[in-house]
Structure 1
Amino acid sequence: MTALEPLSTADFAAALYAHSERYWHNHPLHLRLHQGLLGEAELRSWIANRWYYQKWLPQKDAAVLANCPVPEVRRRWVRRILEQDGLAFGHGGNADWLALAEAAGLSVAEVVDERHVLPGVRFATDAYVQFARTRPWIEAVAASLTELFSPELMRERLGALHTHYSWIDPAGLRYFEQRPAVADADAAHAMELVTTYCTTRAQQDAAVAALSFKCDVLRAMLDAVEHTHLGASV
């Protein structure tokens, strides 16, 4: 059986960008969030459950580092861990997310001890971390390309939180103020890596599949939160 020819860089990039339609920006929960239709309990649940995903990101990125044999890649990728964990206590993406939780009326203790984390969110997040640990490093990089679609969503969400959820202390919105610029830079770097190191059609197809898997992970997380609260309201 003859192997398929690799896609051109432009066609490969187009195949990756096509997943924008599968991203979680159009999930019903996100749509209702941006329309100001979430109640306080549901929004707090979303924040508490998203924490579980947030807190695992540095270890996911550490798995990429562990599997990657290229020093130049590791030197740049390690910034993701520092951005999320921060250079000191109280700094970084995870600290900013906990500040959001407090601004929304949750205690840090109840978020960190994961008492609100739903099984579906835990299962989806754990599957993503396991993927990064066990698959080739470039596939884990490809999975991270959902960041291609996230900056504009976060900017929209920041506006929605200011407009519709005035009960949240604006001081707690730093995560959405800071993250879009970081995500833009990280996504550009990841795209450069994927288009450079995926040189065969099999590698390109695996990268596309990895991004598809990540889109499923993100949507499964929201499904779990939405179904729990819709069921409680019936």
Structure 2
Amino acid sequence: MNAALPTAASGTLPWPAAEFEARLRAKEAGYHIHHAFNQRLNSGALAPFQVRGWVANRFYYQQAIPMKDAAVMSNCDDRETRRRWALRLLDHDGHDDFAGSHAGGIEVWTQLGIATGLTRDELWSQRHVQPGVRFAVDAYVNFARRSCWQEGVISSLTEMFAPKIHADRLAGWPSHYPWIDASGLAYFRNRIPLAQRDVEHGLEVAQGWCDTRAKQERALAVLQFKLDVLWSLLDAVERAYPDDMATEKRP
């Protein structure tokens, strides 16, 4: 996977910190908030089976996040970074009594699935997961396993763009999809402040590690790779649940 990502010629002066961050943030143009399927999802244009299809397939990504985070941490030789990064695993896997606010993002996403009409077994069995989704998500986890920890951190900087997509769902879904119990939307609400915290750490790592133009270019390529993973996930879901699909077919 690493060999597919380009590097810049050495010897070029690095961009100033503000310009580098601006270039990272400009990658928002390729974020899956702009994917046609997401735009239809958040505008209320999808049928229930399509919403459920997205929720079931996205769950495969949700389950993979702590595995990706564990891979990043396993490659990290900096104790303070590991201490901060470990919070991400707990955010998704849960902690303490694993109840209520301690349940973790995977369990909260499970509740979203149940609110859309899926069963817990449908989600956890992965029976609805499309091959393209599995391939894209597994590629992301493998990237984190094989890359240096700094690149693993940088790949997570798609969190810069996540609060807007979550806010759109919170604003529109209650009226667009009144058949979904509003309590199921807790995942989107919970992720907004956590994403902001994670972005601060991610940018700190990126700015500290990318002390050459070559590393800065590499960081942009890594972030693009992650954007491609998310885009590919929606491509696979969109193909799997066309408008003319029989609505009685699960999900």
Inter-partner Cα distance in structure 2 for 1:186 and 1:102? 28
Query: 2:99 matched to 1:81?
Result: no
Query: 2:156 matched to 1:148?
Result: no
Match of 1:191 among 193, 196, 203: 203
Tell me if the contact between 1:19 and 1:212 (Cα under 8 Å) persists in the aligned partners: yes
Inter-partner Cα distance in structure 1 for 2:10 and 2:37? 45
The 5 A counterparts of 1:213-224 are 213-224=225-236
State the Cα RMSD in Å.
1.4
Letter in 2 for 1:52: Y
Name the structure 1 match of 2:30: 22
Can you list the C-alpha shifts for 1:23-79, whole angstroms capped at 9, x where unaligned? 000111111111111101000000000000000100100111111111111110110
Match of 2:123 among 105, 111, 133: 111
Change (3 A) 1:2 1:23: closer
Measured after TM superposition, the shift of residue 3 of structure 1 is 1.6
Name the structure 1 match of 2:4: none
Query: 2:49 matched to 1:41?
Result: yes
Inter-partner Cα distance in structure 2 for 1:50 and 1:57? 11
Q: Structure 1: give runs of 5+ residues left out of the alignment.
A: none
If the length of structure 1 is used for normalisation, what is the TM-score? 0.96
Inter-partner Cα distance in structure 1 for 2:189 and 2:157? 20
Name the structure 1 match of 2:3: none
Letter in 1 for 2:98: F
Letter in 1 for 2:189: E
Query: 2:72 matched to 1:64?
Result: yes
Can you list the C-alpha shifts for 1:109-146, whole angstroms capped at 9, x where unaligned? 11100000000000000000000000111111111010
Tell me if the contact between 2:24 and 2:220 (Cα under 8 Å) persists in the aligned partners: yes
Q: Structure 2: give runs of 5+ residues left out of the alignment.
A: 1-8, 247-251
Letter in 1 for 2:208: T
**Structure with the greater relative contact order (CA < 8 A, sep ≥ 6): 1 or 2?**
2
Inter-partner Cα distance in structure 2 for 1:128 and 1:231? 29
Residue identity (%): 45
Inter-partner Cα distance in structure 1 for 2:180 and 2:220? 38
Inter-partner Cα distance in structure 2 for 1:53 and 1:70? 27
The 5 A counterparts of 1:106-185 are 106-185=118-197
